[in-house]
Amino acid sequence: MGGVLLRACAKVNYALEVRGLRGDGYHEISSVLQSVSLADELEIERSRGGFELFFEPEGVEIGPLEENTVYKAWALLWEVSGHELPTRIRLHKKIPAGAGLGGGSADAAAVLVGMNELFGLGLDAEKLRTIGARIGADVPFCLSGGTALAQGVGEILTPLPAPPAHRLLIAKPERGADTGGIYRAYDERRTEGKASAPPVVAALRSGSLTELAGALGNDLEPVTAGLVPEVAAHKREMLRAGALGAAMTGTGTAVYGIFEDGAAEASLRAPFLGVYEPVGAGVMML
């Protein structure tokens, strides 16, 4: 096999509760995650040696290579397999960075799946999730995708029923959010969050889109909105445009609105704006 082509799907948080700070510096959470059709595309090929990573479009923000999740996934697979894995990866970025949409985690998940296939490593789903958890808290979810309740630091996953059909209008302001900084700011506020996960889970099990939209919640939203006022402004505009419900995803700064199937229309203006759908997988082989 010379190469594989994959789609790495973004995610939104229908619910995000911060349960507390652990001794190791990570936060306990309870979150309901949903894969969406917004996706990066990765082409993974064998190379003559080492690791090569090319980004499209030109000028996309990638930061230091050693901190990139794609590189981390490749390095961990090399470590776990005990074999050199000469790899060339072309990554076409469509998921904006600093958005809370899980783009970096999705890309890492796609590399784990793609390289496992390309090099015939024979790693099962549980092993891939274990490796993924070493890269980031959302990677285990991005490997399986669909709809799930995430607990612990995000690695304990319970599959949930898929939501009723709907469209998600996603908007991201120019400014992004730093995950660590948002959590630190949340800790300094010392305020109790909203119990959003149980009503979202109940709505998914009942199959009611209205209940799901009304139950959306994110404990980190007030913190990020305080730093980036466009978060609250985009949410207000979506609700005015007829969204059944709206919320920020992850640590932000992207905001999504839930619309009836085919009804996601709004006059909202944002640097990143698009209409997407829930999907049942996190990584798709093309």
Residues assigned a catalytic role: 11, 138
Asked if residues 69 and 136 have their Cβ atoms less than 8 Å apart, the reply is yes
Dist CA 12 CA 235 (whole Å):
14
Q: Encoding tokens for residue 78?
A: 């090399």
Asked if residues 9 and 39 have their Cβ atoms less than 8 Å apart, the reply is yes
Distances (CA, A) of 163 to 101, 198, 209: 18, 15, 7
Q: Which residues pair with 273 in a beta bridge?
A: 171
Dist CA 139 CA 104 (whole Å):
9
Dist CA 9 CA 277 (whole Å):
11
Which residue type, as a one-letter code, is found at position 51? F
Give the alpha-carbon dihedral of 263, 266, 270, 273, to 10 degrees. Answer: 20
Which residue type, as a one-letter code, is found at position 204? L
Dist CA 282 CA 37 (whole Å):
9
- If one counts every other C-beta atom within 10 angstroms of the C-beta of residue 270, the result is 19
Dist CA 227 CA 179 (whole Å):
13
Distances (CA, A) of 247 to 164, 195, 244: 18, 14, 11
Which residue type, as a one-letter code, is found at position 246? A
Q: Are strands 27-46 and 245-248 parallel, antiparallel or unpaired?
A: unpaired
